[in-house]
Amino acid sequence: MATSEGQPSWATNALRWLSNHIKAIVLPIVGIGIFLIIWSFAASKIDTSLGKFPGPTAVATQVVNLYQEHNTEREKEAAFYQRQEERNAKRVAKDPNYVPKIRAYTGKETFIDQIGTSLITVMSGFAVAAAIAIPLGIAIGLSKNLNTAINPIIQIFKPVSPLAWLPLVTMVVSAVYVSPEPMFAKSFLNSMITVTLCCLWPMVINTSVGVSAINSDWNNVSRVLRLPSLVHVQKIVLPASIPAIFTGMRLSLGIAWMVLIAAEMLAQNPGLGKFVWDEFQNGSSQSLSRIMTAVFVIGFIGFLLDRGMLQLQRIVSWDKASANR
């Protein structure tokens, strides 16, 4: 704007620099601000049978509440362990043969505990899926015959809502996983396997597409060098298909997080989904604002997971452009 006769002055440069930074910092702030205004306006207009729809202040209050509840619970936990030690000591005094045992805290899971549970579940499910899907995807990508054989199965299972699996998973886990001292809780396995099932397909498909699309020159090089097939996979196939594999992984993780919350809601498995459902069932005047808080936390964590995956992709993948897709 301030150019005179095509000669850029320092002022124009400064302005350009400023406007770029203004764009990067101010625009998101403006966006969020407008969102908050619309939200609080809309919230004040919606009357539910549980009171007004929660606005930004209600959510802010709940964030503080939930954090305080967490602290209170930790204090209770400390008291619990102390009582237990006293009780154990008493019993040892009475019965010297008794070997004292420390039992885990029996109190409720706080919001922060639930976040941790959900994160662990989604990561485990995702890791299991990756361990299965990537080798499978490579095999399918390498062999046309295998691809033709397995493709119909993938195409049929891919569009199934993972939640449809949940009842099946629940029943199968209950029937198969029987042990007096189980290493994992059944509820954890149910959520995790459901997550795994929904993560599989995008990873298998992306990996196989990536593998089958390898530049034929590279394959020819490998052939000329007479690389053994394992080395071929290790030196040529894997590095070449890394961008595609990561695209599949990012897709999967996004789906996994959405599915996990829904599965937890449906099956009452511990985690953020259970938190949301419990609050909905409580029907107290605070329930909606607590659910709204959970919604933001879920969204924020989903965003962080995606950024994390992206960062990993940038570090690992040679094709930097693929990370921005």
Partner 1 sequence: MGQALVAGLCLSSSVVSVSVSAEELGYPEKEELKFGFIKLTDMAPIAIAYEKGYFEDEGLYVTIEAQANWKVLLDGVIDGRLDGAHMLAGQPIAATIGYGTKAEIITPFSMDLNGNGITVSNEIWKQMKPNIPKQADGKPVHPIKADALKPVVEKYSEAGKPFNMGMVFPVSTHNYELRYWLAAGGIHPGYYAPHKGDTSGQIDAQALLSVTPPPQMPATLEAGTIYGYCVGEPWNQQAVFKGIGVPVVTDYEIWKDNPEKVFGITKAFAEKYPNTTIRLTRALIRAAKWLDENDNANRPEAVKILSQSNYVGADYDVIANSMTGTFEYEKGDKRAVPDFNVFFRYNATYPFYSDAIWYLTQMRRWGQISDDKPDSWYFDVAKKVYRPDIYMKAVQSLVDEKIMPATDFASLDGEDGFRSPQTHFIDNIVYDGTKPNEYINKFNIGLKAGDKI
Which amino acid, residue 291? I
Q: Which of 163, 48, 112, 123 is nearest to 293 (CA)?
A: 112
Of 7, 106, 145, 216, which one interacts with partner 1 (CB under 8 A)? Answer: 106
Residue 277 interacts with partner 1 (CB under 8 A): yes or no: yes
With 0-12 / 13-18 / 19 or more C-beta atoms within 10 angstroms meaning exposed / middle / buried, residue 6 is exposed
Residue 190 interacts with partner 1 (CB under 8 A): yes or no: no
Of 8, 167, 283, 308, which one interacts with partner 1 (CB under 8 A)? Answer: 283
Residue 147 CB, shortest distance to partner 1, in Å, is 41
DSSP state of 42: H
Yes or no: say if 310 and 284 are a contact pair by the CB < 8 Å rule.
no
Q: Which of 204, 195, 186 is nearest to 268 (CA)?
A: 186
Residue 73 CB, shortest distance to partner 1, in Å, is 10
Q: Please give the Cα distance from 254 to 308 (Å, whole number).
A: 11
Binding to partner 1 by CB under 8 A, coded x per residue (else -) over 225-264, reads: ----------------------------------------
Q: CA distances (Å), 265 to each of 20, 192, 258, 277, 316, in order?
A: 43, 14, 11, 6, 35
Q: What is the four-CA torsion angle of 154, 158, 164, 166, rounded to 10 degrees?
A: 70
Q: Which of 126, 67, 110, 128 is nearest to 308 (CA)?
A: 126
Tracing tokens 């990012």 back to the chain, one arrives at 250
Residue 68 interacts with partner 1 (CB under 8 A): yes or no: no
Of 84, 143, 147, 212, which one interacts with partner 1 (CB under 8 A)? Answer: 84
With 0-12 / 13-18 / 19 or more C-beta atoms within 10 angstroms meaning exposed / middle / buried, residue 118 is buried
Alpha carbon of residue 265 to chain centroid: 15
Of 3, 148, 161, 174, which one interacts with partner 1 (CB under 8 A)? Answer: 174
Residue 72 interacts with partner 1 (CB under 8 A): yes or no: no
Site size toward partner 1 (CB under 8 A) is: 25
Residue 307 interacts with partner 1 (CB under 8 A): yes or no: no
- 91/223 with CB nearer partner 1: 91
Residue 87 interacts with partner 1 (CB under 8 A): yes or no: yes
- 95/217 with CB nearer partner 1: 95
Residue 128 CB, shortest distance to partner 1, in Å, is 22
Residue 71 interacts with partner 1 (CB under 8 A): yes or no: no
- 106/216 with CB nearer partner 1: 106
- 21/76 with CB nearer partner 1: 76
Q: Where on the chain is the footprint of partner 1 (CB under 8 A)?
A: 49-50, 83-84, 87, 91, 101, 103-104, 106, 108, 174, 186, 267-268, 277-279, 281-285, 287, 290
